[in-house]
Chain A
Amino acid sequence: MSTGSFRLVVEREIREAFRRRAIWATAAVLMLASTALVVLPDLVGDDEGAQSTVAVVGSDSQRSSLDSVLDELAPTIGREVTVTAIEGSRPARLAVEDGEIDAAVVLTESPTRVIAESAGSDVVMLIRQAVAVADLESALVEAGLSADELAVALAAGDTVVEEIDPVDEGRRATAAIASIVLYVLLLLLTSAVANGVAIEKANRVSEVLLAIVPSRTLLFGKVVGVALVGVVTLSAAALPVVIDVVLGGSLPDGAAATLAGSAAWLLLGVALYLTTAGALGALVDRQEEVGSTIAPLSAVLIAAYFVGVTTPESPVADVLAYIPFTSPMVMPARIALDVASPAELVISLTLGVVTVALVARLASVVYQRAIVRTGRKVRLRSLLRSAS
């Protein structure tokens, strides 16, 4: 394969793709969606959801003991509470009404009064807990316990939590995003390659080109060109995430491994599916036949995606993780959820690479024979029989 003509074929694919408005629109939508995913949690989640301000009506010592208890309790449910002082229950009430503070605690009344928009909120729960602990502390101090004895008494109540399902939402979200991105990308690119080849055959451009360049240059030039267009478009989605990380943002747990795994299996999937799609595209006589010709390939892709996104830990997924045509849909989710063993990763990837080599060879033969047979759809069986 001449590298010069191969490069020219790849270049043409990329240049012509980026001359179309559709590709820019896709990139823009991807980038907007990704930016929204990065920016919105910072705006909505962190600043307003997890931060609360509580005003206390009471003496300095009462306030500081409540403050220290709240400081200990709040992080256990992922919150941060700022405690301020306020004079009198009336101004405290007004401040809650105006939304300046999330809740007020009137320690000067008995029983202690808590003013908040709703009684069932996390903040109210925290305050009630904190007030109970603070009351207990002062009762214990009054009963004559020293500071050390107090610390021992309170520490005795410490608990250890055993999580039954250790997968957090961050990992699940990462797995779902990896699956959907790989699926959509492979589906689009597979169709793009098959259609591109079919158009060249139907237009008879392939005939002109085959007189100049070898058939495998045409096939693999298209595969690589379309893949690069896909990856470049996808990088529009990755850009906001990368910028966020560079600026000091953090990725959810397991996201780095998932990204690396997704990249490896994406490469594998792209090589397998696009090469196969190129060979299948060469079988058709008219472009309208492309859909039905690549249907089996799309069916495998959709089925694998379904398993990957719904039950990536199931026994079915255990098997699909080793099959080269399904592993790209299942593996990223399994890596995200941390269910893939190192042996599984190595075996799956090795099988994949070997299959890519075999499929590339077979696709090259099918393409070479089918691309020059015009007039009606070429049957794969008769094509391969004429090979022998």
Chain B
Amino acid sequence: MCPSAEVDVLLLRDVCHSFGERRVLEHVDLAVPPGRMVGLLGPNGAGKSTLMRIMFGVLDADHGDIVWRGRPATDRDRRSWGYMPQERGLYLDMRVHDQLVWMARLHGVDRSTAADRAWSLLERLDLDDRAGDTVKSLSGGMAQRVQLAAAMVHHPDVLVLDEPFAGLDPGAVDFLTGVLVDHVGRGGHLVFSSHQLDLVQDLCESITLIHEGEVVLDGDLRELRAESPDRFLRVDGEVDVAWLDGDATVESTTPSETRLRLQSGVDAAAVLDRVRAHVPVTDFGVESPTLSELFRAATRWNERDGQRPSRMPSRRAAPRPGEQPS
């Protein structure tokens, strides 16, 4: 998606940042429209957290703008947003309810409203019976919920969450998903980073993929998948790569199915016939790349064939040889 000056969109334009000699963000654009989940993706060290810190003024960008409601975002604007950093931060000796009320008041909410909101959030997060306990007495999962509550207690329009699903059990993931769906359902802005790409594929409508400080892929996830020239043949059996005569490679294998990446211009039916000549196939499909495959293609393109993915911006600098995404 091209960043535009649409009034409702939170925009980051042409953001650059360096730590000393090391460039960590190069001309990064990010658009967060209301009512839409935006996933910010990239390998570790890609610059996602730095970008989020710049959004909140924790770091000052060397260059670039953050535009909110059609004008440069002010400190006051940022104070109304909600932020959950990757490395969680709470006062361990402070009581849960006290902490939430204090945070809300820092965001500009008055004392009694803050107290009410803290109570209702704690009830919703099933933590109301721990309101008077210190944070250090809570389990990791509970502390994580308090952290989310701290980011939401002032009812922010913009919610920016760095790895919100990291370390959550499946129940907590469902709960958090519900909260986020709620937030965008009410027209809120949401951007979050995650390494759980299956989850992102299920949740997000838009993604921005950063690699080595540059945006290498961004836009509507469905369109990105459909527009990719890569096609995959899924069959329910084991496949020997020797049967394929170089028309396809084995992308992944599980006990129940094999996923083959088809070379461009190859007829999928012909490849299927070659497989069927060796093993019976009862279930198959020709599919677009998953988000994981798009991710891998965009962050590892140099290792495979040295060709840029179709959506990769031309300004991207050549990666260092032999580099592995982590």
Contacts and interface: CB of A to CB of B under 8 A. Distances in A.
B87 A5 contact: no
A169 interface: no
Contacts of B85: 204, 207-208, 211
Given A12-B94, A211-B85, 12 more contacts: A8-B102, A8-B105, A12-B102, A16-B91, A16-B94, A200-B89, A206-B89, A207-B58, A208-B150, A210-B56, A211-B57, A386-B20
5 contacts: A8-B102, A12-B94, A204-B88, A208-B150, A372-B53
B92 A5 contact: no
Contact of A211 (B56, B105, B108): B56
A204 B58 contact: no
A214 interface: yes
Contacts of B92: 203
B5 interface: no
B266 interface: no
Contacts of A211: 56-58, 78, 81, 83, 85
Contacts of A144: none
A214 B79 CA distance: 10
B45 to A, nearest CB: 12
Nearest to B107: A212
B106 A8 contact: yes
A211 B77 CA distance: 11
Given A12-B102, A213-B106, A207 B87 contact: yes
B75 interface: yes
Contacts of B105: 8
Given A203-B90, A204-B87, A209 B53 contact: no
Nearest to A208: B89
Contacts of A206: 89
Contacts of B81: 211
A306 B237 CA distance: 83
Interface string A6-21: 0010001000100000
B116 interface: no
B107 A203 contact: no
Interface string A168-210: 0000000000000000000000000000000010011111111
A120 interface: no
Interface of A: 4-5, 8, 12, 16, 200, 203-214, 372, 374, 386
A214 B91 contact: no
B93 A204 contact: no
A203 B91 contact: yes
A151 B141 CA distance: 96
Select the residue from A8, A205, A206, A214 with max chain B CB neighbours within 10 A. A205
Interface in B264-298: none
A372 B78 contact: no
B106 A209 contact: yes
Contacts of B94: 12, 16
Interface in B21-54: 53
Interface in B60-116: 75, 78-79, 81, 83-85, 87-94, 102-103, 105-108
B59 interface: yes
Select the residue from A4, A210, A374 with max chain B CB neighbours within 10 A. A210
Nearest to A212: B106
Interface of B: 20, 53, 56-59, 75, 78-79, 81, 83-85, 87-94, 102-103, 105-108, 150
Contacts, number: 61
B59 A205 contact: no
Select the residue from B59, B78, B79, B91 with max chain A CB neighbours within 10 A. B91
A98 B81 CA distance: 84
Given A208-B150, A212-B79, A5 B89 contact: no
A111 B84 CA distance: 98
Q: A-B pairs with the 4 shortest C-beta distances?
A: A204-B89, A211-B56, A205-B89, A208-B89
Contacts of A204: 85, 87-89
A213 B91 CA distance: 16
B321 to A, nearest CB: 26
B106 A210 contact: no
A4 B108 contact: yes
Contacts of B84: 208
A205 B108 contact: no
Contacts of B79: 212-213
Nearest to B85: A207
A5 B92 CA distance: 20
A5 B106 contact: yes
Contacts of A16: 91, 93-94
Nearest to A203: B89
A22 to B, nearest CB: 12
A204 B78 CA distance: 19
Contacts of A212: 78-79, 103, 106-107
A203 B107 CA distance: 20
A203 B94 CA distance: 13
A208 B108 contact: no
Select the residue from A16, A208, A211 with max chain B CB neighbours within 10 A. A211
Given A4-B108, A386-B20, A205 B58 contact: no
B15 to A, nearest CB: 16
A205 B88 CA distance: 7
Contact of B75 (A200, A208, A209, A214): A214
Contacts of A4: 108
Nearest to A217: B106
A207 B87 CA distance: 8
Contacts of B88: 204
A200 B94 CA distance: 12
Contacts of A210: 56-58
Nearest to B102: A12
Contacts of A12: 94, 102
A200 B57 CA distance: 18
Contacts of B83: 208, 211
A207 B89 CA distance: 7
Contacts of B103: 208, 212
A366 B59 CA distance: 14
Contacts of A372: 53, 58-59
